[in-house]
Amino acid sequence: MNKWIRQEIQQLSAYKVPESSNSIKLDAMENPYKWDMEHTEAWLKILRNVSLNRYPESSANEVKQQLRSVMQIPDNMEIILGNGSDELIQTLALAVNDEGRVLLAPEPSFVMYRMIANFVRMKYVGVPLQVGDFELDMFAMLEEIEIHQPALTFLAHPNNPTGNAFFVDDIESVLETATGLVVIDEAYASFAEHSFMDSLYKYPNLLVMRTLSKLGLAGIRLGFLVGSPELLGQIEKLRLPYNINTLTQLSAVFAMQNYEVLEQQTKQIKIDREILTTRLEEMKGIHVWPSQANFILFQTKNAEKVFERLKARNVLIKCLHGNYPTLENCLRVTVGTSEENKIFLQVLEQVIED
C-alpha cells in the first residue's frame, strides 16, 4: 500500500491498452482509413504556419463553428469542447458531484462512466440491461432513478459494447422521469439511425455528447457536449483554459471542411458492417447482435481461446468475457477495411473449428 495515494485509487486497475504493432487492429472502434495524399498535403500546408510558441485559442471558436455546420447542432444551443469525450464525462461529474450524489448508467456500457465516478468519489449505480436483447430494462431503470435520484445519467446511444441503440421511447421516459442531468452519449452517431440532437429544445435536462474519435479522428482527441447556454455556461467554468491544443484545433477545422471524405468512409463502413454481420451469422456456433455502430458484438464457444488464437495470428479484437455476466463468451470486432474484415473472417473460421 502506498501512503500518499487515496485508497479507492489504489484499488482501481489502470485502463489497459494492448500492444498492437504488426496486428490487424480491430479492437478500438477506429476508422480504418487514412487521408489520401492530396488531403494530407493540404493539411500539412496548414500546419506549416502554426505558431507553437503561442497558447491555443482558448474558446476554439472556429472549431465550434465548423462543428455546427456539419453536425446539425441546433442554433440556440451551446457547445463545450473536450480533450476527447472522456474529459467531458469527467468535467460533468466534477460539476454535479456533492455529498451522496449518484451517477447512473445501464450495464454493460461504456466503462469510463463507472471509472470516472470513482475518480471523483461519486456514488455509481449500474442498472443491468435486459438479458438477450440488451434493451433498457425500463422497470428497473425507472425504479432506480426513483430511488437514487441520480444527478447524472449516461445513456450511450448506440451503446458500447453491445452495438444496439435503445428504443427512443424508453430514452424519452428516462428523460421525463430523471430530475438530474441526462447525457445521451452519441459517440457512434455517424453509424446510427437516430440522434437526440433535435430533442434538446424539448428536455432542459438533456445534454448530447459526441466525439470525432469513431468518425475517423481518434488521434486528435476532440469531443463535444451540446446543451442549453444556461447549463453549459456553468459547466464551462470547469473546463481547463487550453484543453484543446492548437494542432487539434487546426486539424479538426480542416477535417470538417473536408467532411465529405469522412462521410464517404462512414458510408463504406456501414456497408461493410452489414456484410460482416451476415458472414458472421452464417458461421456455425456464433450468435451475432445487430449493430448501429462501427463494431459488432458476437458470442462463440470458448471466447477467450478464440480471442487468443486470433491474436496469435495477428488479428486483434476485444474479448469481453469476464467483464460482465451477460457478456459471457462475447467478443467485439471493429469494422475494418473490406480486406481486413475478410482476413478476420478467414482466421476466425480457422480458429473456431477445433
Ligand X SMILES: *Cc1c(COP(=O)(O)O)cnc(C)c1O
* Binding residues vs ligand X (CB under 6 A): 29, 84-86, 110, 156, 160, 185, 187, 211, 213, 223
- Minimum CB separation from ligand X for residue 5, in Å? 24
Q: Closer to ligand X at the Cβ: 29 or 276?
A: 29
The three cell numbers of residue 92 are 460533468
Beta carbon of residue 49, minimum distance to ligand X (angstroms, whole number)? 27
CB burial class (10 A; 0-12, 13-18, 19+) of residue 98? exposed
Q: Which is nearer to ligand X, 262 or 351 (CB)?
A: 262
* Contact (CB, 8 A) for 240 and 247: no
Query: Taking the complex as a whole, how short is the minimal distance between the CB of residue 110 and ligand X, in angstroms?
Result: 4
- The length of the chain is 354
State the nearest-atom distance from the C-beta of 209 to ligand X, in Å. 7
The C-alpha torsion from 146 through 150 and 152 to 155, rounded to 10°, is: -40
Shorter beta-carbon distance to ligand X: residue 87 or 352:
87
Spatial distance between the Cα atoms of 103 and 178, rounded to a whole number of angstroms = 12
The residues with which 319 forms a beta bridge, in sequence order, are 331
- Residue the block writes with cell 440532437: 197
Give the number of other Cβ atoms within 10 Å of residue 71's Cβ.
21
Distance in Å, CB of 235 to ligand X, minimum: 16
| Residue 2, CA distances (Å) to 16, 69, 97, 101, 115 in order | 21, 50, 26, 28, 20
Q: Which is nearer to ligand X, 178 or 217 (CB)?
A: 217
Helix (H) or strand (E) holding 319, with range, is strand 318-319
Residue 96 or 293: which CB sits closer to ligand X?
A: 293
- Burial bucket for residue 19 (CB in 10 Å: 0-12, 13-18, 19+): exposed
Which is closer to ligand X, CB of 184 or CB of 347?
Answer: 184
* Smallest separation (angstroms) from ligand X to the CB of 201: 24
CB of 188: closest distance to ligand X in angstroms?
7
| 3-class DSSP assignment, residue 63 | helix
| Nearer of residues 154 and 203 to ligand X, judged by Cβ | 154
